[in-house]
Amino acid sequence: MNVFIYSRKVESDQQEALGDLLYHLLRRGVKLFVQDRFLPYVSNRFEWRGQLVVLQDLSELSQMDFVLSVGGDGTILEVARLLSGTKVPVLGLNSGRLGFLSQLSFIEFEKVIEDIVNRNFEIEHRSKIHVSILEQEAQFPNALNEVALLGHPHNTMIAVHAFVNDIFLATYWADGLMLATPTGSTAYSMSCGGPIVSPDTGSFIITPIAPHNLNVRPLIIPQSSRVTFIPESREGQFMMAIDGQSHFLDHEVKITLTKSDVDLRLVRLQNEHFFKSIRTKLNWGFDKRN
């Protein structure tokens, strides 16, 4: 089994636990691949660090059985961009804070090493959003969480004309407007009052950001829909954030959003489920009477 370890940063108090996990994987015959910048995080394990293979060419990621993402959900978003167009699944090891996509803690990971080595897991498909702007030659990345249009500069209010399958929906006067995936329903969309949506529902969410209209609410639509946003701003510009990555554009462009042909594949272990995640991480239904 070939496993690529990806991380932006591992805190010093977590490096020993990470070293232990990698050691156990190596003992079970797993071949581990890393980037150069990962090696300092396991520098205290010189006796086996030489067994880590440094992957110089990330195009070789397609040869991995899966990627172990060490960090938070932001790290998985980076991995999703790296794996775009491949069928390599991702398993998230949460060394951050909340983490909906990063399922496991270091302690939990120790308990499931045998399941991983024996491939005792399922693959969960998470849809992405494809972004197209006719007036722009630039290629935009697919969005795993959301595509958000925001006023720029200084977070000014913008008007966004929204269409679904070329049928006019509404003009939103707001700080911004986003289209979110079910995966993104527990991210920015949730903080803006959007609903939490199960990943397998095949839907998108149109969520206004601090709307100045009292008569607009988040709206769930099928993923087969073609969504068009046309932003207007007195400043003449707006910001498009794709999974938090900012792109600054002139207003009045026509942005077309559709379901991407590629998705992200997540490793889902036994006894792990979306409903368990929202119950344990959002205290869903928490009541002292329970």
Q: Give a yes or no: residue 173 inside a domain.
A: yes
Domain total for the chain? 2
Q: Give a yes or no: residue 287 inside a domain.
A: no
Closest CA to 3 of 69, 82, 49, 56: 69
Number of other CB atoms surrounding residue 132 within 10 Å: 14
CATH of the domain at 35: 3.40.50.10330
Do 72 and 101 reside in the same domain of the chain? yes
Do 182 and 275 reside in the same domain of the chain? no
Q: Which residue has the tokens 């329970």?
A: 290
Q: Give a yes or no: residue 152 inside a domain.
A: yes
Query: Is the backbone peptide bond immediately before 153 cis, with ω within 30 degrees of 0?
Result: yes
Model pLDDT, residue 41: 79
Cα separation, 290 vs 288, whole angstroms: 5
CATH of the domain at 206: 2.60.200.30
Q: Confirm if 39 and 48 have CB atoms less than 8 A apart.
A: no
Model pLDDT, residue 226: 98
Judge whether 57 counts as a catalytic residue: no
Q: Give a yes or no: residue 288 inside a domain.
A: no
CA 38 to centroid of chain Cα atoms: 21
Do 116 and 9 reside in the same domain of the chain? yes
Q: What is the dihedral of CA 284, 287, 288, 290, to 10 degrees?
A: -90
Do 176 and 226 reside in the same domain of the chain? yes
Model pLDDT, residue 288: 84
Beta strands 66-71 and 245-250 are: unpaired
The single-letter DSSP state of residue 138 is S
Do 22 and 85 reside in the same domain of the chain? yes
Q: Give a yes or no: residue 245 inside a domain.
A: yes
Tokens of 113: 């090493």
Three-state SS at 276: helix
Tokens of 215: 């008569």
Please provide the distance, in angstroms rounded to a whole number, between the alpha carbons at the two ends of the chain.
Answer: 43
Do 203 and 273 reside in the same domain of the chain? no
Do 110 and 168 reside in the same domain of the chain? no
The single-letter DSSP state of residue 258 is E
Q: Give a yes or no: residue 290 inside a domain.
A: no
Model pLDDT, residue 206: 98
Model pLDDT, residue 173: 96
Q: Which residue has the tokens 């030489």?
A: 50
Do 91 and 175 reside in the same domain of the chain? no
In sequence order, the β-bridge partners of residue 236 are none
The single-letter DSSP state of residue 104 is B
Q: Give a yes or no: residue 103 inside a domain.
A: yes
Per residue of the chain (290 residues), what is the pLDDT tens digit?
A: 999 999 888 888 788 888 888 888 888 889 999 888 888 877 666 566 678 888 888 788 888 998 999 888 889 999 999 888 888 999 988 876 767 787 777 777 777 888 888 888 889 999 999 999 987 767 899 999 999 999 987 778 999 999 999 999 999 999 999 999 999 999 999 999 999 999 999 999 999 999 998 899 999 999 999 999 999 998 889 999 999 999 999 888 999 999 999 999 998 888 788 888 888 888 888 888 88
Do 123 and 141 reside in the same domain of the chain? no
| Domain hosting residue 219, numbered range | 129-259
Spell out the residues 6+ positions from residue 286 whose beta carbon is closer than 8 angstroms to its own.
none
Closest CA to 140 of 33, 29, 240: 240
Q: Give a yes or no: residue 55 inside a domain.
A: yes
> Which residue in 36, 57, 73, 261 is the catalytic one?
73
Three-state SS at 284: coil
